[in-house]
């Protein structure tokens, strides 16, 4: 995350709006207050907000990937790389609210090139024990170059319920993620594009009729049956129940269906994208799709040790079954994954303590049979800083689409050894500085890495891949002037994972309150940068980023100017994006042959209503 936000000082309310996540409920942790600080609200693009350095196809909503290596995946079936994952709604991220008045969060960004980005969340407690809500996102943009149109919808209905005697809790989510995107295959002539100046650049593209579509549907429910002693209190004839919870038995159900489509209805041709050696027919007219369907049931037993002012411990044992069905062009495969999990955590509660996290997972049968994930973390909490570290080892089956793939242009069936990733990390977070420092270092030792080579086909390396990363963030303040910084350093020992060696984010601004301290104001500039490297190319039909050796990208700062104001719970901002376009060079790309957005003006608003 790029956030340096902190909670505003809030007036004490008798019934403040709070929320919990599934993670908090599992560990019996306290509810959270909303973070209402005015910081980075103008960074509306999910990739800039969450990753800072990334590749996409030059317009919001297009396929993308982070350029900072951070490998962490569940010990479970993975269909393949999802280039739209960052936009998806997920049940595991849901915030379940407790609020006396309806909670509303409305976020809107509008601008040139027909950009519309709307995020709206509403949650209401119909009774003290029943909360229902909706979380909706809409993204659409015409783009800056031919055939960049995107239209995406993300909707989540969510709710939580707990019984009067506190013996039972249920969480529920229904999710729809879907999108339609024109595919242009990149511009045909980089030098022609670079010879142009101004915001009306145009260049011929590879694909004139192709389109990608995706649909993802999820139904998610988790039931808690609490264990412990029930205490009954009668006050003035009113009976209340207070439970000393000792743990719970939980059942989790998850239904998920994924569909990806690539349409070439009029026979787009490109020797770069669809070589003659492929499986495509002579007409070049084809329709590709891949779909997966899964049903997961998970049964777990969890136990909490008696909480005190120093620490609380959490122990969990779980057994899961997942039915998986994958379909591609007249090919259907079915798997049944059964896997076990165990978890032990010691959660510190004061400033002189030690935290511990241990986790293990093993897949007994199915596509991921004999996959193993082990993780151990240690946290030292002091008054001045937090020091943490850990080691993780994951032995797993490569993605399904790396092993089996069947489409009109490409088809393969591979047999690969399991990938083995050993990851260790160390981190320091200060707590007493005016603006704290965060620093983390990571090392990944990877055997049998699977990647998409220069011919797009998957390949498995027999060399040991070593990747080192460093991430640091710090804000410096001088009076009303603020200087926010975040840097990334990373390096791989062999050229199978293409990463920029250096990446940076800087946000410089002045902040203060004016008009009798009614208006909180920020005025400044922000810049994103990464060093040059041979960035991966993108193939729209296969939906993968793959190695290429012809074009370097990067070594280009993207500079934005902004002004943001806040009155009570309303935030309004104006932003001038890519202000430095054509200042030093005319060639600027996030992905080879996919230029960055041009200079443009945006307006946005955020309004939150709650207790």
* pLDDT, average across residues 17-22: 93
State how far the Cα of 1 lies from the Cα of 52, in Å rounded to an integer: 8
pLDDT > 70: percent of the chain: 93
- Tell me which of 38 and 276 has the higher pLDDT: 38
Burial of 237 (0-12, 13-18, 19+ CB in 10 A): exposed
Helix (H, G, I), strand (E, B) or coil at 193: helix
Looking at residue 12, its pLDDT comes to 53
pLDDT in tens, 212-262: 999 999 999 999 999 988 777 666 555 666 777 789 999 999 999 999 999
* pLDDT, average across residues 88-109: 93
pLDDT in tens, 489-531: 999 999 999 999 999 999 999 999 988 888 999 999 999 999 9
- The alpha carbon of 83 is separated from its chain's Cα centroid by a whole number of angstroms, namely 11
In the predicted model, what is the mean pLDDT of the chain? 90
Query: Which residues, including other chains, have CB under 8 Å from residue 297's CB and lie 6 or more apart?
Result: 251, 252, 253, 320, 321, 322
Looking at residue 240, its pLDDT comes to 63
pLDDT bracket for residue 405 (50, 70, 90): very high
| 140, 114 Cβ separation under 8 angstroms | yes
State how far the Cα of 250 lies from the Cα of 26, in Å rounded to an integer: 9
Looking at residue 4, its pLDDT comes to 34
Strand partners, 167: none
Is 78 within a domain? yes
Lowest mean pLDDT among 37-41, 69-73, 282-286, 345-349: 282-286
Neighbours of 10 (CB within 10 A): 10
Q: What CATH number should be reported for the domain holding residue 430?
A: 2.40.170.20
Using CA of residue 66, residue 70, residue 74, residue 77, what is the dihedral sign? positive
Q: How many domains does the chain have?
A: 1
State how far the Cα of 473 lies from the Cα of 487, in Å rounded to an integer: 7
State how far the Cα of 351 lies from the Cα of 307, in Å rounded to an integer: 16
Is 3 within a domain? no
Is 6 within a domain? no
- Closest C-alpha to 591, from 183, 268, 284, 288: 183
Provide φ and ψ at 355, rounded to 5°.
Answer: -110, 145
| 494, 502 Cβ separation under 8 angstroms | no
Range of the structural domain that residue 115 is part of: 18-609
State how far the Cα of 587 lies from the Cα of 493, in Å rounded to an integer: 29
Query: Which residues, including other chains, have CB under 8 Å from residue 217's CB and lie 6 or more apart?
Result: 175, 176, 177, 255, 256, 257
| 499, 535 Cβ separation under 8 angstroms | no
Is 7 within a domain? no
Lowest mean pLDDT among 281-290, 345-354, 446-455, 511-520: 281-290
| 253, 296 Cβ separation under 8 angstroms | yes
* pLDDT, average across residues 135-161: 95
DSSP element (H, E) containing 126: strand 115-127
Is 11 within a domain? no
Looking at residue 595, its pLDDT comes to 92
Lowest mean pLDDT among 33-42, 313-322, 337-346: 33-42
Looking at residue 433, its pLDDT comes to 81
pLDDT bracket for residue 329 (50, 70, 90): confident
Which regions of 349-410 does DSSP assign to beta strands (E)? 353-365, 372-381, 385-396, 404-406
pLDDT bracket for residue 285 (50, 70, 90): confident
Is 83 within a domain? yes
Burial of 203 (0-12, 13-18, 19+ CB in 10 A): buried
- Taking the CA atoms of residue 473, residue 496, residue 213 and residue 604 in that order, the dihedral angle to the nearest 10 degrees is 20
- Tell me which of 482 and 281 has the higher pLDDT: 482
pLDDT in tens, 170-192: 999 999 999 999 999 999 888 88
* pLDDT, average across residues 390-411: 94
Which regions of 209-352 does DSSP assign to beta strands (E)? 211-235, 238-264, 286-304, 311-328, 331-348
Is 512 within a domain? yes
Looking at residue 280, its pLDDT comes to 57
Q: Give yes or no for residue 106 having a pLDDT over 50.
A: yes
- pTM of the shown model: 0.91
Provide φ and ψ at 545, rounded to 5°.
Answer: -95, 125
Is 4 within a domain? no
């Amino acid at each position: 995350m790029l956030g340096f936000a902190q909670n505003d000082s809030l007036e004490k309310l008798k019934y403040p709006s709070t929320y919990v996540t599934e993670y908090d409920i599992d560990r019996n942790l306290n509810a959270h207050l909303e973070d209402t600080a005015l910081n980075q609200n103008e960074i509306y693009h999910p990739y800039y907000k969450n990753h800072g350095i990334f590749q996409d196809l030059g317009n919001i909503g297009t396929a993308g990937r982070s350029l900072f290596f951070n490998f962490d995946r569940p010990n479970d079936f993975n269909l393949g790389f999802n280039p739209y994952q960052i936009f998806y709604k997920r049940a595991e991220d849901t915030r379940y609210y407790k609020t006396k008045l309806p909670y509303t969060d409305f976020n809107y960004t509008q601008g040139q090139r027909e950009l519309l980005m709307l995020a709206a969340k509403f949650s209401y407690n119909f009774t003290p024990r029943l909360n229902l809500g909706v979380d909706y996102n809409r993204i659409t943009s015409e783009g800056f170059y031919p055939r960049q149109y995107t239209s995406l919808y993300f909707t989540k209905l969510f709710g939580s319920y707990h019984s009067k005697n506190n013996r039972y809790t249920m969480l529920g989510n229904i999710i729809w993620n879907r999108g339609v995107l024109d595919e242009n295959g990149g511009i045909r002539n980089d030098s022609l594009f670079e010879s142009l100046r101004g915001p009306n650049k145009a260049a011929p593209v590879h694909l004139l009729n192709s389109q990608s579509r995706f649909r993802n549907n999820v139904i998610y429910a988790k039931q808690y049956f609490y264990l412990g002693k029930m205490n009954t209190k009668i006050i003035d004839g009113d009976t209340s129940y207070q439970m000393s919870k000792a743990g719970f038995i939980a059942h989790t159900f998850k239904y998920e269906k994924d569909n990806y489509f690539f349409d070439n209805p009029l026979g787009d041709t490109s020797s770069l994208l669809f070589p003659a050696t492929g499986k495509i027919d002579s007409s070049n007219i084809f329709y590709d799709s891949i779909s997966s369907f899964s049903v997961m049931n998970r049964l777990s037993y969890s136990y909490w040790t008696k909480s005190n002012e120093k620490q609380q411990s959490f122990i969990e044992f779980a057994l899961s079954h997942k039915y998986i069905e994958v379909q591609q062009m007249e090919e259907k495969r079915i798997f049944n994954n059964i896997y076990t999990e165990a978890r032990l955590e010691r959660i510190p509660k004061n400033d002189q303590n030690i935290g511990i996290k241990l986790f293990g997972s093993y897949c007994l049968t199915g596509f991921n049979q004999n996959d193993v994930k082990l993780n151990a973390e240690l946290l030292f909490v002091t008054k001045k800083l937090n020091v943490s570290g850990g080691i993780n080892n994951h032995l797993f089956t490569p993605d399904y689409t790396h092993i089996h793939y069947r489409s009109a242009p490409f088809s393969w069936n591979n047999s690969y050894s399991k990938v083995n990733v050993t990851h260790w990390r160390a981190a320091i977070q200060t707590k007493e500085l005016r603006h704290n420092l965060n620093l983390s270092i990571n090392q990944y030792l990877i055997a049998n890495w699977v990647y998409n080579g220069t011919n797009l086909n998957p390949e498995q390396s027999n060399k040991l891949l070593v990747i080192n990363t460093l991430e640091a963030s710090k804000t410096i303040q001088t009076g009303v002037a603020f200087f926010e910084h975040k840097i990334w350093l990373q390096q791989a020992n062999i050229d199978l994972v293409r990463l920029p060696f250096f990446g940076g984010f800087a946000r410089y601004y002045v902040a203060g309150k004016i008009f009798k301290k009614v208006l909180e104001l920020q005025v400044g500039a922000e810049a994103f940068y990464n060093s040059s490297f041979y960035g991966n190319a993108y193939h729209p039909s296969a939906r993968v980023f793959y190695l290429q050796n012809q074009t370097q990208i990067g070594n280009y700062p993207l500079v934005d100017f902004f002004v943001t104001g806040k009155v009570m719970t309303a935030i309004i901002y104006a932003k001038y994006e890519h202000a430095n376009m054509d200042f030093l060079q005319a060639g600027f790309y996030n992905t080879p042959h996919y230029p960055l957005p041009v200079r443009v003006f945006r307006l946005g608003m955020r309004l939150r209503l709650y207790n």
